[in-house]
Amino acid sequence: MSARNDLERLVRPNILALAPYRSARDEFQGLASASVFLDANENSLGSPLEEDFSRYPDPYQRPLKEALARQKGLLPGQIFLGNGSDEAIDLLLRAFCEPRLDNIVILPPTYGMYAVQAAVQDVEVRRAPLCADFSPDPEAVLRATDERSKLLFLCSPNNPTGNRLPDSFLIAMLERFPGLVVVDEAYIDFSEQPSVLSFLEKYPRLVVLQTFSKAWGLAALRVGMAYSNSFVINILNKIKYPYNLNVLSVRISLQALERSSEWNDKIGVIKAERERLARALTALPQVREVFLSEANFLLVRTTDADRIYAALCAEGIVVRNRTRELHCENCLRITVGSPAENDRLIAALQNLNAA
Ligand SMILES: Cc1ncc(COP(=O)(O)O)c(C=O)c1O
């Protein structure tokens, strides 16, 4: 089977047949000489603001994709940009999973939105839990799948555990799972290992998710990326809202990309703070284990997560209580903050112990 046919068989038939909405901005592309735009029912007089926001934005965010493509060594046509990577997760489900017929496979404990978006779409979620040490079990994943398994979500580094899934496991899944393998790399820039973007050339059924919300420090903008082959990207473009990203988010993301060196410095600080925080936490009597993390958070097994969570809240410090997640009994997920924030957290925990 050709790679294209292999992908086509995964798409919901109604989506494959869909003629997408063509916006006014789709139709005028290519008319470089045009200067009077009376095609989109905008307000040509503008708004009460000084800056002009009167025109709909580019539906395909071309300059930002070109900049990302250069940085990642890909083609712009291999990039989808969404309102956070959450939009890409949602659209992958809509495009590939037939409600009440198809299923997705996840490896709990993991990022909650895969299951939530599947539930919204009435798509079955199959679970192949990570082992107690948070490593994946390839055979268990394959046992959980059937011919209606369309998407396998693999989060690496994984939220909330912080560990990476080994490349050998990802490759085994790409070779053996017959649907799309979605590797969510929201935290990849905090890891020492490279991204799996280089696998895209060999594996047409791979989708890689990344985001501006974590390492780039731009969560408020809501910009996330899906990288794949152009067939999958075109399917996502076909079903997205026509103007899914606003002009400010795109512009500021582009400005951030142009300042990559400053960005690298910040990541270095967060990684150093992660190690310092891990050492300080390990020394506390109410901490049983700090799991190794390749992300910007630490999963910490404590003596009593509910009590420590409440005590930290009373000090004005909010962490994430993960004690009810599989294999995470008495675990808190703690984001690595600024050096001052980390100092406050450590002091609060030390005082808690003294009390
Ligand atoms: C693993 C993972 N994927 C995706 C996201 C969503 O990111 P975005 O802000 O790009 O929607 C998060 C956010 O916490 C996450 O932890």
Reported as a single tens digit per residue, the pLDDT across 309-351 is 999 999 999 999 999 999 999 999 999 999 999 999 999 999 9
> Ligand 1: distance of its center to the CA of 174 in Å?
22
Amino acid identity at 141: V
Reported as a single tens digit per residue, the pLDDT across 278-298 is 999 999 999 999 999 999 999
Q: Whose CA is nearest to atom 12 of ligand 1?
A: 186
Number of the ligand 1 atom closest to the C-alpha atom of 213: 9
| C-alpha separations of 12 from 9, 79, 168, 174 in Å | 8, 21, 30, 21
pLDDT at 264: 86
**8 A C-beta contact, residue 59 and residue 26:** yes
Reported as a single tens digit per residue, the pLDDT across 49-103 is 999 999 999 999 999 999 999 999 999 999 999 999 999 999 999 999 999 999 9
pLDDT at 322: 98
> Ligand 1: distance of its center to the CA of 208 in Å?
13
Enumerate domains of the chain plus CATH numbers: 3-258 (3.40.640.10), 261-354 (3.90.1150.10)
Number of the ligand 1 atom closest to the C-alpha atom of 224: 10
> Ligand 1: distance of its center to the CA of 45 in Å?
38
Number of the ligand 1 atom closest to the C-alpha atom of 110: 1
The span from the CA of 97 to the CA of 92, in Å, is 8
* CA 278 to chain centroid: 24
Which residues have any ligand 1 atom within 6 Å of their CB?
A: 84-86, 111, 155, 159, 184, 186, 211, 213, 219, 224
Best of 89, 92, 106, 111 for a ligand 1 pocket test (most atoms within 8 Å of beta carbon): 111
Q: Which residues contact 18 (CB under 8 A, 6 or more apart)?
A: 238, 239
Residue 34's pLDDT band (cuts 50, 70, 90): confident
> Ligand 1: distance of its center to the CA of 283 in Å?
30
Rg (CA), the chain: 22
Best of 80, 86, 253 for a ligand 1 pocket test (most atoms within 8 Å of beta carbon): 86
Whole-model pTM: value is 0.97
Q: How many other C-beta atoms can be found within 10 angstroms of the C-beta atom of residue 66?
A: 14
Count Cβ neighbours within 10 Å for each residue of 166-205 and write b for 16 or more, e otherwise: eeebbebbbeebebbbbbbbbbbbbbeeebbbebbeebbb
Number of the ligand 1 atom closest to the C-alpha atom of 111: 1
Bridge partners of 298?
334
pLDDT at 337: 98
| Beta-sheet pairing, 297-302 with 320-321 | unpaired
pLDDT at 25: 74
pLDDT at 31 over 70: no
> Ligand 1: distance of its center to the CA of 90 in Å?
12
Amino acid identity at 125: V
> Ligand 1: distance of its center to the CA of 133 in Å?
23
Residue 273's pLDDT band (cuts 50, 70, 90): very high
> Ligand 1: distance of its center to the CA of 234 in Å?
22
pLDDT at 132 over 80: yes
Q: In terms of pLDDT, which residue wins out, 23 or 232?
A: 232
| Beta-sheet pairing, 149-155 with 103-106 | parallel
> Ligand 1: distance of its center to the CA of 113 in Å?
8
> Ligand 1: distance of its center to the CA of 85 in Å?
6
pLDDT at 22: 84
Best of 214, 221, 253, 333 for a ligand 1 pocket test (most atoms within 8 Å of beta carbon): 214
Q: What is the mean pLDDT of the chain?
A: 95
* The 320-321 sheet, strands edge to edge: 287-290, 297-302, 331-335, 320-321
Amino acid identity at 216: W
pLDDT at 107 over 70: yes
> Ligand 1: distance of its center to the CA of 16 in Å?
27
Number of the ligand 1 atom closest to the C-alpha atom of 89: 4
Query: How big is the chain, counted in residues?
Result: 355
pLDDT at 35: 84
Number of the ligand 1 atom closest to the C-alpha atom of 222: 9
